[in-house]
Amino acid sequence: MDHVHRRPVRRPLLSPFHPRRPSANQAGGLIAYGQAPGSAQACRPFRVDAATLVNYTVVVPKKNPTPVRFDMMVADRLAAFVSINHGLSLSAAANMLVDEGLRMMEHPGVIFRAGPTGRRAGLATGPDVWEIVRAVRSARTAEPDLGERELLALVAENTGVPVRLIRVATGYWASYPDEIDAEVAAADAAEENAELAWRREQELLAG
């Protein structure tokens, strides 16, 4: 059972800002991936050690947190990253970036990028992982009798992504299926809603 402790924590003083929302674009049947708004170079980094002492209630697991000490240059870059990524605390950003780094080491060829639906896994030289997984499922539904090699060849032909990278994407999905399946479901729902909206508009204009 988790235990509730009240303890002081040093929390950096962050300046308010107003990030821009990126827009979703369609390109060749795939949702085009974009870049995170702003850049670390465009933002003035603030010092991590500029903090106030406040009390808050936090639920912590039985396992004690792992203490981490950053070099000052790394801490400054982390602070700059937080300043341009709305809603992230220093600890949440550090946890996310370490997790992503470990995943990239586990699955070479996978990177993480920002987009309209948040950060997501993608191929370094290709589309997002969820797009490849959805293409594989679509090909399997259309050609249920194909063997593995023939199926991969079909997906490669349809997407323009080499078989080697398709396997990178499916390998990542095998490790984190819930994450990728949720992204596929969200994309399917968005496309269905867009289709319904288009049909309603056409009915209205047709009279």
List Cβ neighbours of 192 (8 Å cut-off, separation of 6 or more): none
**Residue pair 176/107 in contact by the 8 Å Cβ criterion:** no
Domain C-terminal end among 106, 128, 155: 106
**pTM tops 0.75, yes or no:** no
Q: How confident is the model at residue 61 (pLDDT cuts 50, 70, 90)?
A: low
Domain C-terminal end among 74, 90, 106: 106
pLDDT over 80 at 42, yes or no: no
Q: In whole angstroms, what is the distance from residue 19 CA to residue 57 CA?
A: 29
Domain that residue 83 falls in: 1-13+37-106
**Can you tell me which residue has the tokens 């996978």?**
110
Is residue 20 in some structural domain?
Answer: no
Q: How far is CA 170 from CA 46, 78, 82, 159, 173, in A?
A: 40, 31, 31, 14, 5
